[in-house]
Amino acid sequence: MVSRVIPVDNFDLVIFGGTGDLARRKILPGLFRRFLSGQMTEGSRIIGAARGEMDDEGFRTLVREAIAEFGGREKNETDCIERFVERLHYVPIDAMGEGGWTQLRDLMRLDVVRAFYFSVAPSLFGAIAERLHKYEIANADSRIVVEKPFGRDLATARALNATLAEHFNETQIYRIDHYLGKETVQNLMAVRFGNVLFEPLWNNHYVDHIQITVAETVGVGGRGSYYDKSGAMRDMVQNHLMQLLCLIAMEPPSKFEADEVRNEKLKVIRALQPVENHHIVRGQYDAHEGGQSYRQDAENPRSFTESFIAMKCHINNWRWAGVPFYIRTGKKMKARSSEIAVVFKDLGHSIFEGDEARHRNILAIRLQPNEGIDLQVTIKEPGPGGMRLIDVPLDMTFSEALGPDAEDVTDAYERLIMDVIRGNQTLFMRGDEVEAAWAWTDPIIQGWEKRNDVPKLYDAGSAGPDDALMLMHRDGRRWRDIKG
Ligand code: BG6
């Protein structure tokens, strides 16, 4: 495959929280990969800003170590690493006070794109935004990047949006949901809107139901104090699964442009029906085969936080009326596997009899791992014995079909940061989208709190609580197997 890397304009990117976990694991190694590819130009710079005292050389050492620990095969590119770290600077900064801000202002250049990544707790967003303004560090063309969690309910999300809006326009605010930066998530749009084949079938005349699964094998160990206050609903459903649902369910935008796409996603969220309690299963993993339970991982022996959730949702519009969307996500599941499966209806009339009449088409889009698309089609079983039908996969695993370049898939974060520099907001959440998602989520969470809802236990390494299986069995359907 020919590389089509187009260099972005020169930039100064300030990373608040530049020495933190996300910066070390994702942002900085990702930027190094973009540098290696030629997309980040030699004239661009990255400025780490955090509370700790450190000089440029200290920060460069930290970044060399981060690349060695979290980089992929590019960590051996020693010469390039040295050229990359020359572009790094560091400013000790007091987010809530006045220290470091003048120094930061003096460091910034006028003739390049200025971007500010808030890789810090949301409680600091307001203070940083205000100081960027007060010290005239940000200008009308500057961009800010904010991370989830974007609020913990509608009220806090609104307050956060209002705080940012005091100093920045919506066109300057880039709210990251890293799922939108994943190659295969973008492929959802390519598959739907780049092929004539699927769109005519993409509605309640042909689709029986849709399943969205994001299963993880990791537990919450190491980040229990954050997670225990969030749970799967706030951590995964309100954002990542909601975005997947939007991309699957939205109407075709008239153009692949930021507001066109985001308008259509917003309509989906607003059309979501409130979910009835008996259509929701909350789970919490229990110790199994020597592993720790959720409560041990979260260091909270009385926790009722969910590490798993399954639910049946409906979208109240013409296209999807009557089509259930079953979504589920969980930690410590039997395999790491994320996929979306569009299960089509039975034939209106089959010319085959008995069991041979019962076959279905399923389009499965595997998001991770083994990224690819698999269309289950019905064919005649080869050989003698009459007209026996079987279902076989028309399977396209991207790494096989597209060769080694497909494995070199850009990490979500680096792609999204390049989009920030390019000024392309298509893959970022707009403020009203985030608020609409919370407006749908809030009553569900409030219902649990009011009832002191207790999540069902499930064995670590399983497919979640049995009640989740029942959620579909009751409807005469079943979940697809979770396979890594
Ligand atoms: C994060 C959640 O946003 O996404 C984590 O906070 C989760 O709990 C992670 O593990 C999953 O991301 P990915 O890219 O590994 O699927």
> What's the 272 CA to ligand 1 centre distance in angstroms?
24
Which atom, in ligand 1's list, is nearest to the CA of 368? 16
d(CA 128, CA 151): 17
Residue 53 contacts residue 94 (beta carbons within 8 Å) = no
Residues belonging to the active site: 240
Residue 344 contacts residue 364 (beta carbons within 8 Å) = no
Q: Can you give the residue ranges of every domain in the chain?
A: 11-147, 180-473
The closest residue, in CA terms, to atom 9 on ligand 1 is: 236
The residues of the chain scoring below 50 in pLDDT are 1
The closest residue, in CA terms, to atom 2 on ligand 1 is: 235
Q: Letter for the amino acid at 425? A: Q
313-359: pLDDT as tens digits: 999 999 999 999 999 999 999 999 999 999 999 988 888 887 777 78
SS3 of 449, please?
A: helix
Residue whose C-alpha is closest to residue 457's, from 335, 293, 320, 301? 293
With a 6 Å cutoff on the Cβ, whether 216 touches ligand 1 is yes
CATH 3.40.800.10 fits 11-147, yes or no: no
The closest residue, in CA terms, to atom 8 on ligand 1 is: 235
Return the best residue to mutate from 22, 178, 243 for the ligand 1 pocket (most ligand atoms within 8 A of CB): 178
> What's the 10 CA to ligand 1 centre distance in angstroms?
30
pLDDT at position 407 = 55
230-260: pLDDT as tens digits: 999 999 999 999 999 999 999 999 999 999 9
What are φ and ψ of residue 445, in 5° steps?
-65, -40
With a 6 Å cutoff on the Cβ, whether 235 touches ligand 1 is yes
What are φ and ψ of residue 407, in 5° steps?
-80, -20
The CATH number of domain 180-473, selected from 3.30.360.10, 3.40.50.1360, 3.40.50.2020, 3.30.750.200:
3.30.360.10
pLDDT at position 369 = 87
Buried-exposed string 349-388: b where 16+ CB fall within 10 A, e elsewhere: eeeeeeebeebebbbbbbbbebbbbbbbebeeeeeeeeee
The closest residue, in CA terms, to atom 6 on ligand 1 is: 235
Q: Label the pairing between strands 362-368 and 143-146.
A: unpaired
